[in-house]
């Protein structure tokens, strides 16, 4: 099971920073940004191999369920 930042989101945010810097803003004046998109991924094959039961409500709430 993985709950964390969308792996592509930091790259998208970095593109915004690069754009602003190339337009003339000073890097020191740019705000620090926090991730805004998180995802939940459940690997059911691994859970089964470990003998774990993942509740259906958690499976429904997951962004991705790997069979």
Q: What is the per-residue pLDDT across 8-49, written as a single tens digit (0 to 9) for each?
A: 888 888 999 999 999 999 999 999 988 888 999 999 999 999
Placement of tokens 């089964």 in the chain:
48
Q: What is the pLDDT of residue 9?
A: 86
| Distance of alpha carbon 42 from alpha carbon 29, whole angstroms | 39
pTM (2 d.p.): 0.67
Q: What is the pLDDT of residue 6?
A: 85
Task: Count CB-CB contacts under 10 A for residue 3.
Answer: 11
Q: Is the pLDDT of residue 56 over 90?
A: yes
Q: What are phi and psi of 23, to 5 degrees?
A: -85, 0
Place 52 in a pLDDT band, splitting at 50, 70 and 90: very high
Q: What is the pLDDT of residue 8?
A: 85
| Distance of alpha carbon 44 from alpha carbon 51, whole angstroms | 10
């Amino acid at each position: 099971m993985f709950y964390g930042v969308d792996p592509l989101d930091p790259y998208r945010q970095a593109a915004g920073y690069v754009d602003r810097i190339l337009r003339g803003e000073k890097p020191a004046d740019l705000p620090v940004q926090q991730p805004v998109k998180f995802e939940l991924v459940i690997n059911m094959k691994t859970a089964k191999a470990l003998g774990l039961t993942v509740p259906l409500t958690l499976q429904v709430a997951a962004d991705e369920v790997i069979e």
